[in-house]
Chain A
Amino acid sequence: DIQMTQSPATLSASVGDRVTITCRASEGISGWLAWYQQKPGKAPKLLIYEASTVEPGVPSRFSGRGSGTEFTLTISSLQPDDSATFYCQQYHSFPYTFGQGTKLEIK
C-alpha cells in the first residue's frame, strides 16, 4: 500500500496568513492526488484533484502543487471559514489511501 504522510498534524494561524500543508507519498503517484476539507459533522469536501486542479466553486485562495511524492496545499490568505481538517488522498493505485489529516485552527 502507498503510505501518505501529512504535516503538520495541527496548525494554528491567523486570518490573512499564508498556510501550507504538505503531503508525502511513500512512492511515486504522479499527479494522482486529491485534497479534501472536512468540517465537524460534515462529509469531506473536495478542494483539489490531480494535485493542482481546483474543483469548481472552491475559493481561489486554495491551490495545490506537486508531483511524484511531494505535494502541497496552500491557502493564500486564511479566512475564518477555513477552520477545518484537511486530508490528502492518493488515487494512483488501489488501495486508495489518505493522509492522517491536518487540523487547522484559526487564532
Chain B
Amino acid sequence: HLQLQESGPGLVRPSETLSLSCSVSGGSMSGDTHYWGWIRQSPGQGLDWLASLHYTGNTHYNPSLEGRVTITADMSANQFSLRLSSVTAADTAIYYCVREFGYWGQGILVTVSS
C-alpha cells in the first residue's frame, strides 16, 4: 500500500526558501506512470496545485507562483522535494505531497513568520 510522508521545517522566515521532502514507501517512484506533486491549503481555504513531476523528468508548475517553485526527485531514494523561494506570509499553508490522485501525505503545516 503506497504511503507518502512529508518532512521539513514548520517555520520559515520571510524572503527565505521553503524546502520540503516527501518520502514514498510501499511502492517505487521509478516506472510509475502517474505524476507526483505538491498541493497546498492555506488556513481555512481551498486547495491549490503547485507542481507536478513525472518519472520521465517532465515537470509542470503553477504559473501563479511566478517561477518561485521547483520540484525535483531522487528516484533512487524514492523521494521527491519542493522548493519555494522568496516566501511571504501568503505562503503559510498545509503542504501535501501527492501521487495522482488517490494518494496523499498527511500534510505538513508551514508557517512563514519572522
Contacts and interface: CB of A to CB of B under 8 A. Distances in A.
**Co-assembled chains A and B:** yes
Interface of A: 1, 34, 36, 43-46, 49, 55, 87, 89, 91, 94-101
The B contact surface, by secondary structure, is mixed
Contact of A43 (B49, B61, B96): B96
Interface of B: 46-49, 52, 60-64, 96, 100-102, 104-107
Contact of B49 (A36, A49, A97, A101): A97
A101 B96 contact: no
Contact of A89 (B101, B105, B106): B101
A89 B101 CA distance: 10
Nearest to B37: A96
Given A43-B96, A43-B106, A98 B46 contact: yes
Contacts of B100: 91
From B52, B96, B104, name the one whose CB has the most chain A CB atoms within 10 angstroms.
B104
Given A43-B107, A100-B46, A95 B102 contact: no
